[in-house]
Structure 1
């Protein structure tokens, strides 16, 4: 789930161009795309690359092929997913943001996780936010987020450092604070997804048994290649679906 724009395949870039046009209304739901020759000319791409991108869009549920009509945009195309940097409360909200309830806002020493992903020195002090995401009265996810050391933040993203200081108990995720402080500042990220069990402590926080299956999402967000935020998101069975873009 890399978000970086570096060395992306042309077909993936083309996929995103057409998907963006669908989501911004250029090709609204129910509309028919131009023919392949015309669309290839409009986009300035080869027909083989276009055909592959269109096939991926069809597989991912954005397009359908109707005999005698052509490729049409589905009435309810899936929301953009984890291929873009979005706060988890927005991504899982299905059109409305989930509520973020702060559980813990503190400063802690580096752990193995933050040493690996934030390159934090042993003596560093890192801001740590733990939040519970809820919707319709039920817990949907548990998020744990760490910011890089203050010196790193001041050097590479002082606006983010200031935003964190100004919102110690903000009812939002740390990533939401970072996104709001990054207008005009390009962010890149990498995420990993694995299966696990909640365990006792997380089960208690989410109101589920300890042996409840869950999806663990790890995430690292960077500016100019420097990691500024690392996170773990725990989504138990029954949590809202996490949209994910897949491509060959």
Structure 2
């Protein structure tokens, strides 16, 4: 079995198309998936991982934050971070676009597209959620949601490269586009809720503090039984109540 320190210290690809935080996230997740980092075991500190991989603590902190909010690791205050005892499994339920969930009577909701690109390589986590080969191309669509001029949420959506979004840089969220075009064919998925922090990269489009606490809503959806959509919505305190029907 591969030694955990040797596994973590193997050089990163340094591929300009893949952000360092994504590469660090994929490395640690690969370690969890393959059993190099065993369930319940303590993982190295931010400083140790940064030294092993030759990256900054900020990069490592963002990668660990994502792994924590997705349930792959758990943090114990004053002790450290540990691999979760059980890897999270996806569940199924019908989804609604985030703009529908955040709209309020008498208020004006606006969507500001900040990114819309076909990324040539994607992370292990996104590839797993979309059931595509790791490192393959996928759509990335990022949107700031504003209510009455106030930025209340950041939405980051991922779809397989073969999905036709028409003009991904315009209109509503990618999920709204899929539902408008395909209707009930976009059927089942999962919604997960977790508490977390914005982090450096996600705070920038909102003009917010990276340490600001947010509610993280993770959505997935299927088309003809296959995963076709993954999104993370970072909801700020100003987003108000979120209603979920069961």
Which bin holds the TM-score, normalised by the shorter protein?
A: 0.5 to 0.7
How does 1:1-248 map onto structure 2 within 5 Å?
Answer: 84-95=94-105, 98-108=109-119, 109-150=121-162, 153=163, 161=164, 164=165, 166-245=166-245
Q: Secondary structure at the match of 1:178?
A: helix
Q: Please say if residues 153 and 235 of structure 2, whose CA atoms lie closer than 8 Å, have aligned partners that are also in contact.
A: yes
Deviation at 1:84, TM superposition (A): 4.3
**Cα distance change, pair 205–123 in 1 and its aligned pair in 2 (3 A):** closer
Q: Which digits, 9 at most, give the CA deviation of each residue in 1:116-168, with x for residues without a partner?
A: 20011135211110110111110011011011231xx4xxxxxxx2xx1x213
Please give the alpha-carbon distance, in whole angstroms, between the structure 2 residues aligned to 1:130 and 1:104. 5
Please give the alpha-carbon distance, in whole angstroms, between the structure 2 residues aligned to 1:137 and 1:204. 17
Please give the alpha-carbon distance, in whole angstroms, between the structure 1 residues aligned to 2:108 and 2:160. 26
Please give the alpha-carbon distance, in whole angstroms, between the structure 2 residues aligned to 1:176 and 1:124. 24
Q: Which digits, 9 at most, give the CA deviation of each residue in 1:60-94, with x for residues without a partner?
A: xxxxxxxxxxxxxxxxxxxxxxx642110111102
Please give the alpha-carbon distance, in whole angstroms, between the structure 2 residues aligned to 1:212 and 1:183. 36
Greater length-normalized contact order (CA 8 Å, ≥ 6 residues apart): 1
Please give the alpha-carbon distance, in whole angstroms, between the structure 2 residues aligned to 1:123 and 1:176. 26
Please give the alpha-carbon distance, in whole angstroms, between the structure 1 residues aligned to 2:200 and 2:97. 26
Could you say what the CA RMSD is over the residues aligned between the two structures, in angstroms? 1.9
Q: Secondary structure at the match of 1:181?
A: helix
Q: Please say if residues 189 and 219 of structure 1, whose CA atoms lie closer than 8 Å, have aligned partners that are also in contact.
A: yes
The count of aligned residue pairs is 152
Q: Please say if residues 110 and 121 of structure 1, whose CA atoms lie closer than 8 Å, have aligned partners that are also in contact.
A: no
Using the size of structure 2 for normalisation, the TM-score is 0.57
Q: Secondary structure at the match of 1:182?
A: helix
Stretches of structure 1 lacking an aligned partner (at least 5 in a row): 1-82, 154-160
Q: In the alignment, which residue of structure 2 is the partner of 1:64?
A: none
Q: Which digits, 9 at most, give the CA deviation of each residue in 1:5-38, with x for residues without a partner?
A: xxxxxxxxxxxxxxxxxxxxxxxxxxxxxxxxxx
Larger Rg: 1
Q: Secondary structure at the match of 2:239?
A: coil
Is the deviation greater in 95-104 or in 107-116? 95-104
Using the size of structure 1 for normalisation, the TM-score is 0.57
**Cα distance change, pair 97–85 in 1 and its aligned pair in 2 (3 A):** farther
